[in-house]
Chains A and B, each alone.
Chain A
Amino acid sequence: MATVNFDEYKNIWVYAEQRDGKLMNVAFELLGEGYKLSRELGEGCQVCALLVGNNIENLASECFAYGADKVYIIEDELLEVYTTDGYTKVITDAIKEYRPEIVLYGATHIGRDLAPRCAARLDVGLTADCTHLNVRVKNYIDYAEANTTLNTATLDPEDPSKNLLMTRPAFGGNLMATIVCKTTRPQMSTVRPGVMDKLEKKSEATGEVVKMDCKLSVNDINTNVKDVVKAAKALVNLSDADIIVSGGRGVKEADGFKVIRDLADKVGGVVGASRAAVDSGWIDPSHQVGQTGTTVKPKIYIACGISGAIQHQAGMQTSDIIIAINKDPDCPMMHLADYALEGDLFKVIPELIEEWN
């Protein structure tokens, strides 16, 4: 590998994923995280959004409102729908030209298709599905001491290195690993949707817009997207929910989800489910919370009849308040919960609906 002059690489880029001219929520979360990292990197570090598509210039104002200092735009008819080849080419060309220090992508089905391809073309490192990022070792120590079992005695809070410390779950959420990329630039990671905090929206915020030339030809794209089909049913928006009421194996059957829905309606929440409930066919997979489903961080998570497999916990353990309702007082979810209520969910929930005001 050729020696890289790290000083040439500056600023934090966020790939602001849009579909059908609408920005994905994770783009705002990444801008918020980018802002946090830019404070750690220090004076002069800018947070830049990268918008790729066709007729998407109007999305720049939303990027500014959520914290972007600068917005790069690449527009072309060939970028109307996402293709791996088209987007990889224009994004890697832009990275080579502007040399960002860090590039963040949302770990969506598209981000996880695009980012590895970009990393391989640029011959740089990529860390998948991150749930925590730091630059300063001092900040990393604070995070580790509050949330993990890591012995921080071997870390120096005054360490001047500014490598991106990318933390992610592995082994089904049983283990956390922090990854560094010391030899290549930019440092890149995909970040799990629903984990990072977006900034408060500042509608009046503006910044510099840089429009890039698009040097894409039809011969660069080796796949043909014939159709994009949206799911007919209403989308379950677990990531944005303040309150989630989830059902698991204890719900026993598809009809059992009625009480879960009743409680969700009462508290103004969204219905979630464990993998056991989804695999049993009681509820659509779009409701699944966990390592293989959606990661959520609501204000209140109510787990009804969910024993709390590690893979489920990995998707909800950072919820502000966890309430567990379960017949088994010793199951892992009852130990994880802030409030553990032992009992039959079919008897407890109707009473709780009465009392919740």
Chain B
Amino acid sequence: MRIIVCAKQVPDTNEIKINPETGTLMRDGVPSILNPDDANALEMALEIKDKNPENVEVIIISMGPPQAKEMLEECIAMGADEGILISDRAVGGSDTWATSNAIAAAVRKLGGCDLMIAGRQAIDGDTAQVGPQTAEKMGLPQITYVKEYKFSDDMKKVEVKRALEDGYQIIEADLPCMLTAIKELNEPRYMTVGGILRACDPKVKISVWGAADIGVDLNTVGLKASPTNVFRSFTPKPKGKGVFIDGDTPKEKSQNLAQSLKAKHII
């Protein structure tokens, strides 16, 4: 059984700060990490492999700049068998539509798979679009927001709990299909010492593929082919100074706050 996990290297958005003078993003020194939802996707694939290590192959696929290889090494240190990085100027600046064209081409080059798992969304763009769009480009059924799963005994069907805002659906699909993972699905494992050594082993493959390697139509990838483009980007305006409530005791402060609100007819 071949499982392909889609993963992205992202800046840790919790660490990003805004330069108060210029209002621009300060990305220097911000660590790059494996996107959190993608770690849940990988964990699910590794759980399946744990149950049947001889017959399950876990391949991680990513698209990004050359340094994203570090993230693939981390995935191998967690237990993945192989990594593929699509990295080429020709695919740079791809939006979600173009990215899904490239990933679908790479998976076709690999000869397909029995299951694809992606994280629900990446923390830098928060779009949640690449999983479903890749599924569409591959002609696979999709189930997003997966929080629980079980396979049929013959591993030909999967039944999942799909989270909704107000409950969940129980959905069944035949393999191959695309699932997208949310935080509630599992607790991703850590890298192991053995895994880290394996990631350093030259026999463990991390392939870097360009657009020519995956045979993708160059009119469907990259900045120019992407239907969406950034028009402007900016930071929200800092709010004007509020009122600091005076008073010596909690009671006095509460009285003053209530009075201010009444004076402005807020209450």
Q: In the bound complex, do residue A171 and residue B170 qualify as a contact, i.e. CB atoms below 8 Å apart?
A: no
Q: Nearest CB to that of B252 among chain A residues?
A: A351
- Label chain B's interface by main secondary structure: mixed
Q: In the bound complex, do residue A147 and residue B237 qualify as a contact, i.e. CB atoms below 8 Å apart?
A: yes
Q: In the bound complex, do residue B243 and residue A85 qualify as a contact, i.e. CB atoms below 8 Å apart?
A: no
Stretch at the interface among A68-76, A106-114, A198-206, A210-218: A106-114
A343 within 8 A of partner (CB): yes
Docked complex Cα distance between A147 and B234 (Å): 10
Which residues does chain B contribute within 8 Å of A229, judged by CB atoms?
167-170
Q: In the bound complex, do residue B125 and residue A170 qualify as a contact, i.e. CB atoms below 8 Å apart?
A: yes
A18 within 8 A of partner (CB): no
Q: In the bound complex, do residue B232 and residue A178 qualify as a contact, i.e. CB atoms below 8 Å apart?
A: yes
Q: Which of B25, B100, B143 contacts A223 (CB 8 A)?
A: B143
B266 within 8 A of partner (CB): yes
Q: Which of B95, B173, B242, B260 contacts A125 (CB 8 A)?
A: B95
Contacts of B222-267 to chain A: CB distance below 8 A = 225-237, 239, 241-245, 250-251, 253-255, 257-258, 260-261, 266-267
Which residues does chain A contribute within 8 Å of B230, judged by CB atoms?
177-179
Size class of the B contact interface (CB-based, 8 Å): 35 or more
Which residues does chain A contribute within 8 Å of B233, judged by CB atoms?
170, 175-178
Contacts of A99-118 to chain B: CB distance below 8 A = 108-110, 112-113, 115-117
Docked complex Cα distance between A226 and B169 (Å): 8
User: In whole Å, how far is B266's beta carbon from the nearest beta carbon of chain A?
Assistant: 6
Which residues does chain A contribute within 8 Å of B219, judged by CB atoms?
1
A246 within 8 A of partner (CB): no
Which residues does chain A contribute within 8 Å of B135, judged by CB atoms?
117
Q: In the bound complex, do residue B126 and residue A351 qualify as a contact, i.e. CB atoms below 8 Å apart?
A: no
Q: In the bound complex, do residue B254 and residue A355 qualify as a contact, i.e. CB atoms below 8 Å apart?
A: yes
Q: In the bound complex, do residue B142 and residue A231 qualify as a contact, i.e. CB atoms below 8 Å apart?
A: no
Which residues does chain A contribute within 8 Å of B132, judged by CB atoms?
84, 113, 116-117, 120
Which residues does chain A contribute within 8 Å of B127, judged by CB atoms?
116, 128-129
Q: Nearest CB to that of A285 among chain B residues?
A: B184
Also in contact, A338 and B242, with CB within 8 A (given A179-B228, A229-B169): yes
Q: Nearest CB to that of B228 among chain A residues?
A: A125
Contacts of B83-104 to chain A: CB distance below 8 A = 95-97, 100
B70 within 8 A of partner (CB): no
Also in contact, A174 and B171, with CB within 8 A (given A117-B136, A348-B254, A351-B254): no
Q: Nearest CB to that of B129 among chain A residues?
A: A116
Q: In the bound complex, do residue B169 and residue A171 qualify as a contact, i.e. CB atoms below 8 Å apart?
A: no
B112 within 8 A of partner (CB): no
Q: Which of A81, A117, A170 contacts B133 (CB 8 A)?
A: A117
User: In whole Å, how far is A333's beta carbon from the nearest beta carbon of chain B?
Assistant: 10
Q: In the bound complex, do residue B166 and residue A172 qualify as a contact, i.e. CB atoms below 8 Å apart?
A: no
Docked complex Cα distance between A230 and B163 (Å): 10
**How many chain A residues touch the partner (CB < 8 A)?**
87
Q: In the bound complex, do residue A339 and residue B129 qualify as a contact, i.e. CB atoms below 8 Å apart?
A: no
Q: In the bound complex, do residue B128 and residue A128 qualify as a contact, i.e. CB atoms below 8 Å apart?
A: yes
User: In whole Å, how far is B180's beta carbon from the nearest beta carbon of chain A?
Assistant: 9
Which residues does chain A contribute within 8 Å of B165, judged by CB atoms?
108-109
Docked complex Cα distance between A171 and B131 (Å): 19
The total of Cβ contacts below 8 Å across the A-B interface reads 241
Q: In the bound complex, do residue A224 and residue B228 qualify as a contact, i.e. CB atoms below 8 Å apart?
A: no
Also in contact, A230 and B234, with CB within 8 A (given A172-B14, A337-B242): no
Q: In the bound complex, do residue B234 and residue A179 qualify as a contact, i.e. CB atoms below 8 Å apart?
A: no
Q: In the bound complex, do residue B267 and residue A149 qualify as a contact, i.e. CB atoms below 8 Å apart?
A: no
Also in contact, A317 and B236, with CB within 8 A (given A117-B132, A178-B230, A339-B242): yes
User: Would you give the 0/1 interface string for A216-242, flagging 1 where the beta carbon is closer than 8 Å to chain B?
Assistant: 000000111111111100010000000
Q: In the bound complex, do residue B228 and residue A180 qualify as a contact, i.e. CB atoms below 8 Å apart?
A: yes
Q: In the bound complex, do residue A148 and residue B234 qualify as a contact, i.e. CB atoms below 8 Å apart?
A: yes
Q: In the bound complex, do residue A116 and residue B168 qualify as a contact, i.e. CB atoms below 8 Å apart?
A: no
Most buried by A among B219, B250, B258: B250
Docked complex Cα distance between A331 and B247 (Å): 19
Contacts of B20-66 to chain A: CB distance below 8 A = 23, 25
User: Would you give the 0/1 interface string for A323-344, flagging 1 where the beta carbon is closer than 8 Å to chain B?
Assistant: 1000001000001111111111
B137 within 8 A of partner (CB): yes
Q: In the bound complex, do residue A348 and residue B250 qualify as a contact, i.e. CB atoms below 8 Å apart?
A: yes
Q: Nearest CB to that of B180 among chain A residues?
A: A113
Q: Nearest CB to that of A112 among chain B residues?
A: B128
Q: In the bound complex, do residue A352 and residue B97 qualify as a contact, i.e. CB atoms below 8 Å apart?
A: no
User: Would you give the 0/1 interface string for B195-237, flagging 1 where the beta carbon is closer than 8 Å to chain A?
Assistant: 0000000000000000000000001000001111111111111
Which residues does chain B contribute within 8 Å of A108, judged by CB atoms?
165
Docked complex Cα distance between A230 and B177 (Å): 25
Also in contact, A174 and B235, with CB within 8 A (given A223-B171, A356-B258): yes
**Further contacts, 13 of them, CB under 8 A, given A180-B231, A335-B241, A351-B251:** A84-B132, A117-B133, A117-B136, A124-B97, A124-B227, A126-B129, A170-B126, A222-B174, A225-B170, A339-B261, A341-B245, A342-B253, A357-B267
20 contacts between A and B (CB under 8 A): A113-B142, A120-B97, A125-B97, A128-B126, A128-B129, A144-B234, A148-B235, A149-B234, A179-B229, A223-B171, A225-B169, A229-B167, A291-B126, A321-B266, A336-B242, A338-B243, A339-B243, A342-B245, A343-B250, A348-B250
